[in-house]
């Protein structure tokens, strides 16, 4: 199902698995950033014909403490796929994924290395990204991470030290990304 271009998000139910074998053991991390999946990011074409998005990431005024992390064993995942500049269709897409997909992406995220300090040269970045909301059972809040899919492929969450998305994470995200 697709929304009219520039009018918000569309929803796609997805139940496919992710098929990369685990290569390393995840390291313990401090508690994750907790957030509910709202408000929904938006995208629209401006007067110059450029696709602009508003990721609407959760914000934090606390200093960064610990690496971006999510707990293992999520029960599911909601992803908001944010288009980059000049992408068509210019719309945010929403997907819901199984526990197996969520667990694989959570493990991939925890394996990603810390973003380096200092100056970093990155490839071109058009703003293409995905906001990930990991769902857990009752009594456990939803956990959030933002993954840039172009440029330095930074993984971020408010109040956390960033990571660079591992090859496994970017590959597994590509496997579940909605088709254009």
Cβ-in-10-Å burial (0-12, 13-18, 19+) of 146 comes to: buried
114, two tokens: 């810390």
Residue 93 has pLDDT above 60, yes or no: yes
User: Would you state the pLDDT for residue 173?
Assistant: 97
Residue 13 has pLDDT above 90, yes or no: no
User: Would you state the pLDDT for residue 60?
Assistant: 56
Residue 25 has pLDDT above 80, yes or no: no
Whether the CB-CB separation of 108 and 172 falls below 8 Å is answered with yes
Helix (H) or strand (E) holding 174: helix 167-176
Separation CA 129–CA 132 (nearest Å): 10
pTM of the model: 0.74
* Residue with the two structure tokens 């109040």: 159
Residue 98 has pLDDT above 80, yes or no: yes
For the chain, the residue count is 180
DSSP 114-134: EPPSS----------EEEEEE
């Amino acid at each position: 199902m697709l929304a009219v271009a520039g009018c918000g998000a569309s929803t796609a139910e997805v139940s496919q698995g992710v098929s990369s074998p685990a290569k390393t053991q995840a390291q313990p991390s401090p508690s994750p950033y907790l957030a509910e999946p709202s408000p929904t990011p938006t995208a629209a074409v401006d007067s110059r014909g450029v696709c602009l998005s508003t990721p609407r990431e959760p914000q934090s005024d606390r200093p960064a403490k610990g690496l971006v992390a999510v707990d293992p064993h999520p029960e599911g995942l909601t992803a908001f796929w944010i288009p980059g500049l000049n992408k068509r269709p210019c719309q945010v897409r929403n997907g819901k994924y199984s526990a197996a997909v969520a667990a694989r992406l959570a493990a991939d995220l925890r394996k990603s290395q810390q973003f380096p300090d200092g100056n970093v040269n990155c490839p071109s970045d058009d703003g293409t990204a995905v906001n990930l909301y990991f769902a857990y059972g009752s009594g456990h809040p939803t956990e959030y991470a933002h993954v840039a899919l172009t440029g330095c492929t930074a993984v971020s969450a408010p109040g956390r030290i960033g990571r660079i998305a591992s090859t496994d994470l970017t590959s597994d995200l590509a496997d579940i990304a909605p088709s254009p």
